[in-house]
Structure 1
Amino acid sequence: MLFEAVRGLFSFPNPVNETPARLVAGAVAVIAVLAIAFQQGWLIPVLAYGFVARALTGPTLSPLALVATRVVTPHLPFRPRYSPGPAKRFAQTIGAAFTLTATAVYFAGFQVEAYALVVVVALFASLEAGFGLCVGCKAFFLGMRLGFVPPSVCEECAPYLR
């Protein structure tokens, strides 16, 4: 029973509704830009927490994702558009790597370098929010095409590999 609860906690939705994903990306972009523009380094670990939470549990432990999926999206007039969960999880993991590195670098005294990493996060999040372009997903699909990611990891990714 405990195993099932833990397994459920660390699950990731598949497929992923693009609307809340893009809303979260928009919020991430805004937070990242605010962190940079106002030199608010304390926001970097906040971003890192969000990416780690989403990579590990989907929306379950991410306040931004919970608000986007349960509060905002149901009131929007958009029909759901879905994309493969494994690709989105990979993208969240890349965001976690960037923001965790930025957090470590920031607190090691290298603020400029940390903010440079946050600029990359802001750029990628803006592309996702504004244009539906998930750079991490594209990298995941490329990894599949090149054979680094076995087809069994994401069978529903086949249409994206052409």
Structure 2
Amino acid sequence: MRLGFPDVVDDVTVRLVASVVLGAGVVALATGWWQMYAVLAADFILRASLGPRASPIARVVLQWVRPAVSAAPRPTPGPPKRFAAAIGAVLTTLAAVAGALHSTGGSATAATVVFAIGAIMVVFPALEAAVGLCVGCVLFAGLMRWGVVPERICLECADITQRTATALSGQRGTPATPVNRL
């Protein structure tokens, strides 16, 4: 298994992974089962730090779900997806810690934090899964425009506006590197 985050990933696979995260987020939010955030946090940490092949969710999607989906691969830059996974890692870790604090001490503030993060962890993956809008990727592009993230990190994604316009018009770009399913 080759670890590390690829420069180019398949957007179809990414959206399928987001669908699984969405399902887990809905279950956690609807049931108050905060331990689900710990499971998601572990997966996001593995994905952000070691790459998608280290993520159990991504591996299941890649091995069993993606082969059943006939859509052609759609290459998209990997670094913004890694950034989005890191945001997911931070948010779900905070939700898991707040959930533990709430369950052990009954803190109303901790319960509010879990609910707020839970709502975010439903909305963000829903946007990615349903319409391909990666909120973390938009933030990544903004950080690049402001000079916080150097352009050399992702030359292909320095201008997310152009990529979004191209995607909406139905045109396809050809990446400089071959698409990696994950």
The TM-score with structure 1 as length reference comes to: 0.89
Aligned-pair distance for 1:62?
1.4
SS of the residue aligned with 2:17? helix
Measured against aligned partners, the alpha-carbon deviations of 1:92-142 in whole angstroms (never above 9, x if no partner) come to 000111011111111122223212111101100000000000000000001
Letter in 1 for 2:73: P
**Counterpart selection for 2:56 from 60, 63, 66:** 63
Identical residues among aligned pairs (%): 39
Instruction: Give the distance between the partners of 2:145 and 2:30, measured in 1 at CA.
Output: 38
Ranges in structure 2 where 5+ consecutive residues have no aligned partner: 103-109, 163-182
Does the 8 Å CA contact 1:45/1:103 hold for their aligned counterparts?
yes
Q: Identify the range of structure 1 (135-144 vs 112-121) with the bigger mean alpha-carbon deviation.
A: 112-121
1:41 maps onto 2:34 in alignment: yes
Q: Report if the CA contact (8 A) 1:52-1:93 is conserved.
A: yes
The corresponding residue for 1:126 is 126
How many positions carry a matched residue from both structures?
Answer: 155
**In structure 1, distance between residues paired with 2:6 and 2:92:** 22
User: Which residue is 1:78 aligned to?
Assistant: 71
1:124 match: secondary structure: helix
What does residue 113 of structure 2 align with? 113
Shift of 1:51: 0.9
How large is the RMSD of aligned CA atoms in angstroms?
Answer: 1.5
Partner of 2:157: 157
Name segments (4+ residues, structure 1) moved above 6 Å: none
The TM-score with structure 2 as length reference comes to 0.80
Cα separation, 2, equivalents of 1:122 and 1:34: 10
CA contact (8 A) 1:145 1:161 kept: no
